[in-house]
Amino acid sequence: MQSATGKIWMDGEFVDYENATIHVLSHVVHYGSGVFEGIRCYETREGPAVFRLKEHLKRLYDSSKVYRMEIPYSMEEMSDVILETVKINDLKSCYIRPLFYRGLGELGVSPLPCPVKCMVAVWPWGTYLGDDALQDGVSVRVSSWNRPAPNTFPSMAKASGNYLNSQLMKIEALESGYDEAIALDHYGYVSEGSGENIFIVRNGVIYTPPSSSSILPGITRHCVFTLAREFDIRIHQHVIPREALYISDEVFFSGTAAEITPVTKIDNIVIGQGSLGPITERIQSEFFKIVRGDTPDRHDWFTFVK
Ligand code: PPE
């Protein structure tokens, strides 16, 4: 169950959890017409800090542009709302979910007659793929479902409707005894997980699919590029054939919720040594040093909640 406490910001005001409701005839309920973000706030030595807020807001507004949603708040206003929502709920670390969606107007495919509504909620969210996932890694399968072909569902937009495809992947993975799925794109190349980007390591070089492989351009993915370059580890965006997954030395996921999670088995094939590999470990430990505030925020990735 979703944690049933706290205040949720809806269209300009804070409402109690139990009153944060919408009409069943809202456009979003029928047609998935929403765009959203997932952001983490971490507890650091200098207090709670929101990780990569500017980048998440930019992607949120980019997503709304694709779907012609006019947002009645500026990015600066939404930034303040997000910080205020964390503060009012008095959480030291949490997951933050802003959503812009089409509300109650006229049903029918066109969203244009329906007003754009905005909400922000926060809740505690621990590890995404299980308690031991960050250390021991996860077992995944290649999904029988592909990611949408180019020019069908825009994968660069983080839209609610896109997650129906993610749900099919995730259900299939869980029902067949895996922790998570990796989908191929329309051409049969590796794309991403149901809620994570994917990286493979081979002979000391990191590879990840390019944005043309129907991926969400992840913000944690960008962190991996930054850290790899700082460590002088070569990192490339490249189309990845399915079999490259099986013969990699290491595979890992990145995502706001998943953070940096090693993948140790794919389709029951053991990847590398079957444990957290050295390059994944370097990236992961530096990532956690940064988000826990154990090392200075040299990239200006944090916005502090005052
Ligand atoms: N691909 C997909 C499909 C995706 O949903 C996410 C985030 C990523 C890649 C990684 O993006 P980023 O968070 O910017 O590094 N998935 C979010 C939703 C998870 C959920 O279950 O809901 C997240 O991690 O917050």
Nearest residue by C-alpha to atom 3 in ligand 1: 195
Residue 306 pLDDT class (50, 70, 90 cuts): confident
Q: Is the dihedral of CA 25, 28, 29, 31 positive or negative?
A: positive
Q: What average pLDDT does range 56-69 have in this prediction?
A: 98
Residue 295 pLDDT class (50, 70, 90 cuts): very high
Atom of ligand 1 nearest to the CA of 257: 24
C-alpha 38 to ligand 1 mean position (Å): 7
Range with the poorest average pLDDT among 2-6, 204-208, 257-261, 300-304: 2-6
Atom of ligand 1 nearest to the CA of 258: 24
Domains in the chain, start-ordered, CATH in brackets? 7-123 (3.30.470.10), 133-291 (3.20.10.10)
Range with the poorest average pLDDT among 119-133, 166-180, 258-272: 119-133
CB atoms within 10 A of CB 212: 13
Place of tokens 């962190």: 223
Spatial CA neighbour of 68 closest among 116, 30, 19, 127: 116
| 73-90 confidence digits (pLDDT tens) | 999 999 999 999 999 999
Spatial CA neighbour of 138 closest among 106, 104, 98, 173: 173
Residue 305 φ then ψ, to 5°: -90, 115
158 among known catalytic residues: yes
pLDDT at res. 256: 98
Place of tokens 């590879």: 207
C-alpha 269 to ligand 1 mean position (Å): 25
Q: Is the dihedral of CA 162, 84, 219, 283 positive or negative?
A: negative
> Quick check: 2 pLDDT over 70?
no
Spatial CA neighbour of 214 closest among 195, 191, 231, 198: 191
Here the tokens at position 105 are 């107007």
- 296 Cβ partners below 8 Å, 6+ apart? none
The pocket around ligand 1, CB under 6 angstroms, is made up of 38, 166, 192, 195-197, 216, 218-221, 254-258
| 165-186 confidence digits (pLDDT tens) | 999 999 999 999 999 999 999 9
| 183-225 confidence digits (pLDDT tens) | 999 999 999 999 999 999 999 999 999 999 999 999 999 999 9
Here the tokens at position 189 are 């190349």
- 281 Cβ partners below 8 Å, 6+ apart? none
